[in-house]
């Protein structure tokens, strides 16, 4: 399920206490009779070697799918498994970067090979698409969304600590 949040809520840090989070969400367009958990599922990753971070569940599921790892609402990676998980994350990030580069290369090729009129039409269509994508999740590539987890894993490997995650609001 895609989540449409009012304003720039998706990019703000949520308050720590549940009551403050609830008030924060109410001020931004959620009503009392709405089930907040059905509208916004969050996953918190934590490790003794690092501070915790929170990501949308949909993003975490995409990351786990990219590394062929099953996602569960609660789970963890043992310290001895982290080098393999990091390797798979790095491979998935490299593949996503290559895909983004290929798409950009194809776009540039179409611009170079087209006539002036076609180029103007393409640029206008791209500007319209960019306006539509500004607030969409797709504007940030998956490899960019993997960075916090990759950083956490690197630190956890250094300190030989496991990483745990849990879905918030359950």
User: Which of the two residues, 14 and 146, has the higher pLDDT score?
Assistant: 146
What does the pLDDT read at residue 27? Answer: 55
Q: What angle do CA 62, 41, 139 make, to 5 degrees?
A: 50
pTM: 0.63
Task: Using CA atoms of 60, 43, 55, 130 in order, give the dihedral in degrees to the nearest 10.
Answer: 60
Q: What is the CA radius of gyration of the chain?
A: 20
Min mean pLDDT across 17-26, 82-91, 156-165 is at 17-26
Average pLDDT over residues 143-168: 94
Average pLDDT over residues 9-16: 47
CA 83, 89, 95, 98 dihedral sign is negative
Confidence band of 101 (pLDDT split at 50, 70, 90): confident
Do 76 and 165 form a contact (C-beta atoms < 8 A)? yes
What does the pLDDT read at residue 38? Answer: 47
Pairing of strands 50-56, 74-77: unpaired
Query: In this model, does residue 152 exceed pLDDT 90?
Result: yes
Q: What angle do CA 9, 33, 165 make, to 5 degrees?
A: 50
User: Which of the two residues, 44 and 126, has the higher pLDDT score?
Assistant: 44
Smallest Cα–Cα separation from 13: which of 49, 47, 50, 44? Answer: 44
Output the six-digit token pair for 59: 């993003």
Convert the pLDDT of each residue in 34-87 to its tens digit: 444 445 789 999 999 998 999 999 999 999 999 999 999 999 999 999 999 999
Domain boundaries, the chain: 41-168
What does the pLDDT read at residue 16? Answer: 56
Smallest Cα–Cα separation from 49: which of 128, 122, 157? Answer: 157
């Amino acid at each position: 399920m895609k989540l449409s949040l009012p304003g720039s809520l998706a990019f703000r840090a949520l308050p720590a206490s549940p009551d403050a989070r609830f008030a924060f969400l109410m001020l931004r367009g959620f009503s009392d009779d709405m089930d907040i958990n059905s509208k916004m599922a969050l996953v918190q990753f934590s490790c003794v070697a690092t501070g915790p971070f929170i990501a949308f569940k949909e993003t975490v599921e995409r990351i786990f799918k990219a590394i062929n790892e099953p996602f569960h609402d609660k789970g963890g990676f043992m310290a001895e498994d982290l080098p393999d998980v990091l390797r798979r994350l790095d491979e998935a990030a490299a593949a996503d970067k290559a895909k983004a580069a290929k798409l950009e290369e194809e776009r540039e090729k179409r611009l170079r090979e087209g006539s002036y009129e076609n180029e103007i039409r393409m640029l206008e269509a791209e500007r319209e698409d960019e306006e539509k994508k500004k607030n969409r999740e797709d504007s940030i590539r998956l490899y960019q969304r993997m960075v916090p987890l990759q950083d956490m894993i690197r630190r956890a490997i250094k300190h030989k600590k496991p990483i745990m995650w849990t879905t918030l609001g359950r």
